[in-house]
Amino acid sequence: MKDDLGAARPGKPQLPRPRGYLSDTVIAWLHTGEGPLPTPGEVQREGPYGADRQLALYVLYELHYQGFDGVDDDREWAPALLSVRRYLEEAFLRALRADVPALGAQEAMAGLLTEPATDDGNSVSHYLKREGRLWQLREYAALRSLYHLKEADPHAWVLPRLRGRAKAGMAAIEFDEFGAGRAEDIHAQLFADLMADLALETAYGHYLDLAPAETLAIVNLMSLLGLHRSLRGALVGHFAAVEVTSSPGSRRLAEAMRRTGAGPAAERFYDEHVEADAVHEQIVRREVVDGLLKDEPDLEPDVAFGIGATGLLDSRLAGYLLAAWREDRSALPAPLPHVRARKPARSET
Could you tell me if 198 and 266 are in contact, meaning their C-beta atoms sit under 8 angstroms apart? yes
* Region of poorest pLDDT, from 109-123, 141-155, 312-326: 109-123
Q: How far is CA 42 from CA 52, 60, 224, in A?
A: 12, 17, 20
- Region 313-341 average pLDDT: 93
Question: Could you give the angle at the alpha carbon of 116 between the alpha carbons of 114 and 122, nearest 5°?
Answer: 125
Beta strands in the chain (DSSP E): none
Give which of 255, 273, 257, 271 is closest to 342, Cα–Cα: 257
Distance CA(323)–CA(251), nearest Å, equals 23
Distance CA(130)–CA(219), nearest Å, equals 27
Average pLDDT, the chain: 90
Q: 99: buried, middle or exposed (CB in 10 Å: 19+, 13-18, 0-12)?
A: middle
Could you tell me if 138 and 210 are in contact, meaning their C-beta atoms sit under 8 angstroms apart? no
Residue spans per domain, the chain: 6-98, 102-325
Distance CA(281)–CA(20), nearest Å, equals 40
More confident residue, 60 or 8: 60
Distance CA(318)–CA(19), nearest Å, equals 22
pLDDT in tens, 171-188: 999 999 999 999 999 999
At 278 the pLDDT is 73
DSSP annotation string for 223-277? HHHHH-GGGHHHHHHHHHHHHHHHHHHHHHHHHHHHHTT--HHHHHHHHHHHHHH
pLDDT of 9 above 80: no
At 105 the pLDDT is 80
Q: Using the 8-state DSSP alphabet, how is residue 158 labeled?
A: T
Could you tell me if 332 and 200 are in contact, meaning their C-beta atoms sit under 8 angstroms apart? no
At 277 the pLDDT is 66
Distance CA(156)–CA(147), nearest Å, equals 14
Third-level CATH fold of 102-325: Heme Oxygenase; Chain A (1.20.910)
pLDDT of 113 above 90: no
- Region 205-232 average pLDDT: 98
At 280 the pLDDT is 82
Could you tell me if 7 and 186 are in contact, meaning their C-beta atoms sit under 8 angstroms apart? yes
At 275 the pLDDT is 75
At 216 the pLDDT is 98
Per DSSP, helices labelled H in 119-163 are 124-131, 134-148, 153-156
pLDDT of 37 above 70: yes
* Region of poorest pLDDT, from 1-5, 93-97, 284-288, 318-322: 1-5
Q: How far is CA 208 from CA 3, 15, 109, 123, in A?
A: 26, 9, 32, 23
At 110 the pLDDT is 78
At 227 the pLDDT is 97
